[in-house]
Structures are given as C-alpha cells and as structure tokens.
Amino acid sequence: MPSKADCVQAVIDGGLDRKDAVAVVDKMMKRKKQLKAEGGLNRATDELVDLLAKESEEAAIAAALNRKQVALTILKRKNVDGFISQVEGEGFHFLDAMEAMMVGSSKKFSGARNSVSRKMRGIQRRWQGGILSELEALDGPVQKLLLKDKSFQDDVARAMMEPENWDGKLAGQVAEVLGKYCEDARVRMNRAGANIGKLEGWIPQSHDQSKLLSKTLGGRSGWVDFVMEHLDAERSFPDIEEDDVRTALESVFDTISSGKDLKTNAKAKGEHVGPANLARSMTKHRVLHFKSADDFLQYHEVYGRGNVLDNVLGHLDMSSRKLALMDTFGPNPEVMLESLIEAEKLRVRNDADAARGYLTFEKLRNMRQEMTEPQIKAHAEQRLNNAWSQGRVVSGKLAHWYAELNGETFGAVRPTAAKIASVTRAVMSMGKLGGATLSAVADVFVKAINARHHGNSLLNSWKTAFDMRFEGLSSEEQRKIYRSLGTMIDGTLGDLAARFEAQDSHLGSTSSHLNRFFKWSGLTAWTEANKSGYVHMLSTELGHVSGLIWEDLPEATRRILDWQGISMEKWEVLRYAASKEADGNTHLLPEKVWDLDDADINPLIEHRLENFRGDDEQREAFQQRLRTDMRRELETDLMGYYADETMYAIIEPDEKTRAAMVRGTRPGSGWGEAARFVTQFKSFPIAYIQRTMSGKRWKRADVDGLDLMGVSHYVATSFIMGYLAMTAKDLSKGRTPRELVDKDGNINMGTASAALLQSGGAGIYGDFLLGKVNRFGGGFLGTIAGPAVSTASSIGVSINQLYTGEPTKGRDGLIRETLNNTPYLNLWYTRAAFDYMVGYHIREMISPGTIKRTQRRLKKEYGQESLLPLDNIKRGGGWR
C-alpha cells in the first residue's frame, strides 16, 4: 500500500507544487476516513479519483492565477516606479506622486490628476450612463417603474435569476441590461487579476446591518434559521458537509453584519495580520444561492435594503473602486502601497539628497543650513511615517485616502447608532438646506473661471457659465450624448444628496426623502443642468481641436490633457474618435473609441508585444486582448477627464474631500460619528479649497507667472455672484437686500465680506474670521461643531430660559428652532409665505412683540427691512 509520501510525490508528478500536493492528499485521506466510517468503502475508489481530479484542477487554476497576479504586480510596480521617477524629475517628491496616483494632486506635473479616484469615477460614469441610455431606449416607462413600482422591481429580480422565463418581457429586457454591466464588471476585474466565475442566475445581494442585528428578528440565530429555510445549501457550500452548513452560515453572518471581513476586524482589534489581497478577496467571496427567485425576494424583504437597481448600482460602485485600485497598484494594492513606502524610507535613510526633497515648508527651507544630515533624514522618514503608520488603527493621509477609495469607511461599526446618526443629519439637511439652490447661484462664477482656465476668453467663459442643459428640455438624442459624457445621471439615480451629505450613505426611506427634498428645492435640476452645460463645452472643445496633432494644440488644452494623464501618444489616437453628433456639434465621446480601427490602436500596444513568445495564432489572440484593454483604458481616461474637470467647475466632494472629513473612521464609532457631525455641510468649502484655491483655477492654464487679470476676475466675480446669491436668499425670506453702500457712501465691509463667503471664496476659514453666519445659514458654533450641535445648544439655552425667569424667550426659542429644523418647511419658495401666514402669528402668541424686536435688530445689524406687510399682524398674533 503506497505511503502518504508516495501519494504526494504522485500528485507532484502530475504538475502541482509540494504545498498544494500535500493539501490535496490530506483532503483525500480525510474523505477516505469519512467513507470508512459511513461504510462506503465500496465506492471509495471512484469518489476519491473524482476528488483528486477536482482538487488537482482547482490547485492548478490557483497556481496559474498566482502566477498571473505576480506578473501583474511586477508590471504595475514598474509603472508606479516609473511615474514616481518622472514626478521627482519634474522637481516634486514621492508623496506628491502618491497623492497624484491615489486622489489627484493640484500641483502641475504630468499625470497629476491621473488618479485612482478619477479612474473610478470614469468607470462609474461609463456604466451608469450606459445603463440609463439603454433603459431609456426600451419601450415603456422603465425608469419610473424601477424607481416606484415594487412589483416591477421584483419581476426584474426574478428575470435576472431565472432569465429563461422572461424572454421578450419588459422586466426581462431590463434584467438583460443590468446583467450586461454586471458581467462587464466581472470580466474587467478578472483581467485586473481576480478570478470570479460566471454564475447563471446571479443577482447582486445587499444586507441591512441593522436588520441583521435586530433582536426582534432573532439576531444571529434568527438569521441563520431564516437562511437555512430558503438557501440552496449544496450550491452555496459545495465543499462543505451538510452538518457544517450552519457553522459556515454563522461565519458568513459575522462577516456581513460587521461590514468588513474577519481579517480586517482582527486588525481593528490590534491583532497582527497581513494586508488583504484585493483580487483574491473577490475570488473567494461567498455567494448565497437561494432555492428560487421568490426565496431570494423573501430574504431581501426581511434582511435586504434598497431595490434591484440599488443593488446593481451598489455592486458596480464597489467594483469600480476595486478595479481602479488594481489597475493602478496591482492585485494587492495595500501590499503595494506599504512596499512603496518602506522602499522610500530606506531610500531617504541612505540618500540625504532624496531626504532634502521633503523640506518643503518655508520655515524648513530657512533651516536647511542649520539642520544636520541625520536630522534631514529623520525629518523625511517622519513625514513618511505620518503619511501611513501601522498601529492599532492605520492612520495618515495615504491610509485615509486608501480607506475612502476602497470603501472601508462605508461599513458601520454599530449599525443602529450609525442609522440614528445618519437620519439625524438627514433631518438637519432637510431643515436647513432649503435655500441651497440660491447659494448655488455662485456656481456660475466658478464655471466661468474654470472655462477661462481652459484658455477661453472672458466673453466665452461667461457664455459657458450661463450655458445650462436641462434634462427635461433635452431631446432623447441630446440626453444620450450627455449621458455618454457622464452627466444627466445623478438626478435620475437619486445620488445628488452626496453634494452636501458627503459623509453619509443613505438608503431606504431616508434616501427617498432626501432625493425628493433636493428635487423640490430645484438643486437637482440646477446642478445637472450646469454640469451638462460645462461638459458640453469640454467635449466640443476637444472635438473642435481634434484635427490638430499634439504640438499644434492650444497650450492650455495641451497642459490640461497632460496633467490629466492623456499623453501625446494617447491624444494621437483619441482625436480620431471625434464625430459629429445629433446636436450638430463635433464631440469627442468616450464610447467612440470602440469604433476606432485596430490599426489606430496598435501604436499604443506595440511595446507589450516585443517579448511575446508563441505562435501566430496565440500572438493574434494576445494582441486582440491588448487592444480591448487599451480601448477600455482610453474610454476611462476620457470619461475620467470629463468627470474630474466638471467637478472643478461644479464643486462636488470626492474621495480626497471625504478623507479630510472623516479621516478613515467608520459610521457608528464614536470618533466616526463625531467627525461626521462636525463636518456636516462642510464638504463644499473643503472641496472648494482643495480644487479652486489649491489648484489656482483662476489662472489660465497657459500662464506660468502671475495672471493679474485672472486674480482680478476671480475676486470681482466672487464678490458679485456672492452678493447676488445673498440677495436672492434675502428676497426669498421677504427681506430687502443688505446695504452694499452705507449712508456715507462707503462700501459696507460686513456686506462685502458676507458676499465673498456666500460665493465660497473665503472658504470655511472665512466663516471663522468674518461671518456671523456661514454659507448655509448656521452660526459660529454651527460652523465649528456642525449644525446638530448648534441646534442642540440653542434648544438647551431655550430650555434653560424656561426655568430661569425668561419663559417667554425660552418658548420663542423653542418654536424658532422647531420651525427652522422642520423638513421641507424651509424650501426657499415656501418659508416666507409660511412665516407670514402662520409662523409669525405663532411666535407673537408665545412672545408678544417679537416681530417688532426682530425687525429692529434686522435694521440695526444689516440695514434690512421686511418686504412683507407685517403691520397687518397684531401684537399677540392674528390679523388687524
């Protein structure tokens, strides 16, 4: 009888390495013992042969995957090292290069904006725009049904799981569209290093953490019992014995209820673990297969969240994040990042010249002559440690950026606490952002300075600034163009709340109310119209110069393309994708790269074929894969360019903004919720500082020195548009505009300062220094600690007044805070009417004379009067 060693050697001879061979033999011996105990030795030979074949095949696939991932890692490392060397050659340093690759840098060097964040957004926009365009092309009110008709949503889910039963039906056609983009995500992630198998009847799953942990539903044991009843255990756990399924489900529950895998949880507890391989984590991801579509829908009703469209879009969002990370840093991005940082630490320890590159602050420049070489090296290493430090919690700006890019800050630590806090902030938003559309009037000047940054004249810049393309007024052909450019998407998908709620991810009824609120306020239509108008300028601008070679491009255009990572070689290919579209303009649409001839693509992939070994057929197949990959890269580059440049003109928070706000923390944790409350409503000023001010977007891109006209234009238009926005809000409140010139003919500096703040020109720091109110109407405490703390403080003061001899003031304060924080009441076109018809009467009943006192204070502090006939309201309430 052969020994174990003989069996292992036989498996090795079959092509596996020793480690895999030992694992296969151990599994066979374990199964043989089980068969013996069951009295099934008579069938042992056939079963063990089948097991050997299966395990050997899986081990061989795993070995091949490992070789592929190693090769991809080497290739990506070569690309990353090359980029770092290029950045340093342009006078910048390692951390500048890391910032550029992860979230984009405002510094001016080649590829400064070619980031994971930009790639991710380009991929997202391609998928989202494609889905909406294809759904819109179907017969029937598909979007309306998907968003509002639960029975139709359920039918689409059934069609995704059981497609053979839905041929020719509308739900089946929708399911085919959604499945197409999910499949594209799977294929692209496999090309990036994963090994995700294709599953028939698969649908993205979601799990509501608060429902999973609900005591009413039985918590862990209740979830396992419910799933056992509806689960196809054999398909879900093909390698697990029937008696072990419950234990396996308990492990699955621990993973999905925590929002992170067990390995990451161990790191959070302070245990030492290695970085997770992103590609392998996707390969090993456990899918719960249910007995039927109805079983899945029953599970989703009890433990899921959102609808089928939410699930697909959520899956594509996470896929785009992982895909963009792997595309830049390889199958194991975290290991790559740590390796890069450790290599840089070693370099600065051994090279004083490299370490001197980290002396970037002015005070350190003045100290260079006094610092010793060891001190310079220690300073450089400390900066690297501060950027990514390993401890109980990974900290530092690189780690915070990675956490945002990877989606780690979305999973709640304590779901119930996170949900309560998120709803609280949503109520704050719906109570206080009713005038946000009027504040957004200042977006017009930001569009203008960015259009000028692209090399346009002042006249054309302001023409672009006022160019708004409203979805409801656009034809089907025009909407298709805009969606292929990445706009007219957010309003339909209901994600616009992210512009002011960047620290939260709302789902369910909260999301529905927020989306409705921003739609009713007009902010949805305003933002989408401005984005569509600006991206139209970008696309036609490139279409207009598509006939020019790189050297002949306008200097501003060439520099911006270079910063965005679109090189001369790529431009010489992309420009042939320009086409005249239905609106009569020549555009450069990302999707048109698929219409380019193979001969156009070949110059970009020739270097990858130099060392290829194989016959002609293999070479052609490899070359075709390279062409497909390059077309995807060009499409993502162009879509990312449009998305990133549009976010400069219509300010929106990105991963860099979120990282500055939540600093790698998760919802439901003490620090995480504190960060989210403190930074509520601050995403706009932070993003404004990061993009407009740090990027010096008031300068034309083709100007190297001081752009005096640009600075003058920036300050003047910031003031003018801020004053217009402030005046619009005052008029909506039934007040006269604030005095711009006092009675002596001098500029009212208080009004001027407030106007600059309204435009965002002074950012959040101006709130601290100059303003009594911030851009969204909060006071000094609200600016520092957030509106929730400010509101709680005001309520506390009012309650204290009730019991300390000032009950009238206390009651008036409580009524005022109630009205100021009631969702939907404070929409810019409803509040003045409500106050005149109801609100002032209530306040007069509680505190007689409050209207007169308010009007006197308004006149004294701001020089304003009411436009409403308040004399008609009697002291104590009621009409005269």
CB neighbours of 243 closer than 8 A, spacing ≥ 6?
Answer: none
Predicted local distance difference test score (pLDDT) of residue 9: 67
Q: Which two tokens stand for residue 552?
A: 């002949």
Predicted local distance difference test score (pLDDT) of residue 262: 39
Whether 28 shows a pLDDT value over 80: the answer reads: no
Predicted local distance difference test score (pLDDT) of residue 337: 95
Predicted local distance difference test score (pLDDT) of residue 182: 94
Predicted local distance difference test score (pLDDT) of residue 286: 53
Tokens 């194989």 belong to 614
Helix (H) or strand (E) holding 337: helix 333-350
Handedness of CA 486, 488, 493, 499 (dihedral sign): positive
Q: Which two tokens stand for residue 504?
A: 């939260």
| DSSP assigned state of 604 | G
Whether 498 shows a pLDDT value over 70: the answer reads: no
Predicted local distance difference test score (pLDDT) of residue 631: 96
Predicted local distance difference test score (pLDDT) of residue 306: 80
Q: Could you tell me which of 767, 573, 564 has the C-alpha nearest to residue 681?
A: 767
Q: How confident is the model at residue 51 (pLDDT cuts 50, 70, 90)?
A: low
Q: What is the pLDDT of residues 341-383, one digit of tens each?
A: 999 999 999 998 888 888 765 445 555 557 788 888 898 899 9
Distance, in Å, from the CA atom of 636 to the CA atom of 642, rounded to the nearest integer, reads 10
Q: H helices within 304-372, ranges in order?
A: 308-329, 333-350, 352-356, 362-367
Q: What is the pLDDT of residues 722-747, one digit of tens each?
A: 889 889 988 988 888 988 887 788 88
Whether 878 shows a pLDDT value over 60: the answer reads: yes
The secondary structure of the chain in percent helix, strand, coil, rounded to multiples of 5, reads: 70, 0, 30
Handedness of CA 471, 474, 477, 481 (dihedral sign): negative
Following DSSP, what letter does each residue of 517-566 receive, concatenated?
Answer: HHHHHTHHHHHHHHHHHHHHHHHHHHHHTTTS-GGGS-HHHHHHHHHTT-
Q: Could you tell me which of 592, 662, 157, 755 has the C-alpha nearest to residue 413?
A: 662
Q: Which two tokens stand for residue 618?
A: 């293999």
CB neighbours of 108 closer than 8 A, spacing ≥ 6?
Answer: 559, 563
Q: What percent of the chain has pLDDT over 90?
A: 42
Distance, in Å, from the CA atom of 745 to the CA atom of 726, rounded to the nearest integer, reads 21
Q: What is the pLDDT of residues 471-485, one digit of tens each?
A: 777 888 888 899 999
Q: What is the pLDDT of residues 58-69, one digit of tens each?
A: 666 667 777 778
Burial (CB < 10 A; 0-12, 13-18, 19+), residue 554, is: middle
Query: 136, 112 in Cβ contact below 8 A?
Result: no
How large is the average pLDDT for residues 381-394? 78
The dihedrals phi and psi of 2, each to the nearest 5 degrees, come to -65, 145
Predicted local distance difference test score (pLDDT) of residue 274: 45
Distance, in Å, from the CA atom of 255 to the CA atom of 644, rounded to the nearest integer, reads 34
Helix (H) or strand (E) holding 241: none
Residue of 172 and 495 predicted with greater confidence: 172
Strand partners, 866: 735
Whether 461 shows a pLDDT value over 90: the answer reads: yes
Q: How confident is the model at residue 263 (pLDDT cuts 50, 70, 90)?
A: very low
Query: Across the chain, what does the average pLDDT equal?
Result: 84
> Of the segments 111-120, 844-853, 859-868, which one has the largest average pLDDT value?
111-120
Query: 719, 759 in Cβ contact below 8 A?
Result: yes
Lowest pLDDT segment from 19-23, 385-389, 668-672, 775-779: 775-779
Q: What is the pLDDT of residues 507-547, one digit of tens each?
A: 556 777 888 898 899 998 899 999 999 999 999 999 999 99
Tokens 């009212």 belong to 748
Distance, in Å, from the CA atom of 515 to the CA atom of 524, rounded to the nearest integer, reads 8
Query: 713, 452 in Cβ contact below 8 A?
Result: yes
Whether 459 shows a pLDDT value over 90: the answer reads: yes
For the question of whether the overall pTM of this predicted structure is more than 0.75, the answer is: yes
Q: Return the number of other C-beta atoms located less than 10 Å from residue 559's C-beta.
A: 19
Predicted local distance difference test score (pLDDT) of residue 442: 78
Helix (H) or strand (E) holding 579: strand 579-580
Q: How confident is the model at residue 761 (pLDDT cuts 50, 70, 90)?
A: very low
Predicted local distance difference test score (pLDDT) of residue 42: 55
Residue of 61 and 602 predicted with greater confidence: 602
Q: How confident is the model at residue 675 (pLDDT cuts 50, 70, 90)?
A: very high
Encoded amino acid at 259, one letter = G
Predicted local distance difference test score (pLDDT) of residue 16: 59
Query: 304, 207 in Cβ contact below 8 A?
Result: yes
Q: Could you tell me which of 108, 72, 79 has the C-alpha nearest to residue 697?
A: 108
How large is the average pLDDT for residues 89-116? 95
Whether 264 shows a pLDDT value over 80: the answer reads: no
Encoded amino acid at 406, one letter = N
Q: Distances from the Cα of 69 to the Cαs of 119, 276, 327, in angstroms?
A: 21, 14, 12
Q: Which two tokens stand for residue 539?
A: 């696309």
How large is the average pLDDT for residues 462-467? 92
Phi-psi region of 663 (alpha: psi -120 to 50; beta: other; left: phi over 0): left
CA 82 to chain centre: 28
C-alpha Rg value of the chain to the nearest Å = 30
Q: Return the number of other C-beta atoms located less than 10 Å from residue 48's C-beta.
A: 16
Q: H helices within 742-806, ranges in order?
A: 749-758, 763-769, 780-785, 787-802
The dihedrals phi and psi of 470, each to the nearest 5 degrees, come to -80, 135
Burial 510-541 (b: 16+ CB within 10 A, else e): bbebbbebbebbbbbbbbbbbbbbbbbbbbbb
Whether 571 shows a pLDDT value over 90: the answer reads: yes
Whether 175 shows a pLDDT value over 60: the answer reads: yes
Distance, in Å, from the CA atom of 334 to the CA atom of 315, rounded to the nearest integer, reads 21
Q: Could you tell me which of 868, 835, 858, 836 has the C-alpha nearest to residue 738?
A: 858
Predicted local distance difference test score (pLDDT) of residue 189: 93
Encoded amino acid at 706, one letter = L
Q: What is the pLDDT of residues 230-255, one digit of tens each?
A: 998 888 887 777 778 888 899 899 88
Q: Which two tokens stand for residue 403?
A: 């956490």
Q: How confident is the model at residue 397 (pLDDT cuts 50, 70, 90)?
A: very high
CA angle, 607 as apex, 606 and 609 as ends, to 5°? 70
Query: 783, 748 in Cβ contact below 8 A?
Result: no
Mapped onto helix, strand or coil, the DSSP state of residue 698 is coil
Predicted local distance difference test score (pLDDT) of residue 497: 38
How large is the average pLDDT for residues 687-712? 92
Predicted local distance difference test score (pLDDT) of residue 325: 97
Lowest pLDDT segment from 90-94, 463-467, 505-509, 751-755: 505-509
Q: What is the rounded end-to-end Cα distance, in angstroms, of the chain? A: 109
Predicted local distance difference test score (pLDDT) of residue 771: 40
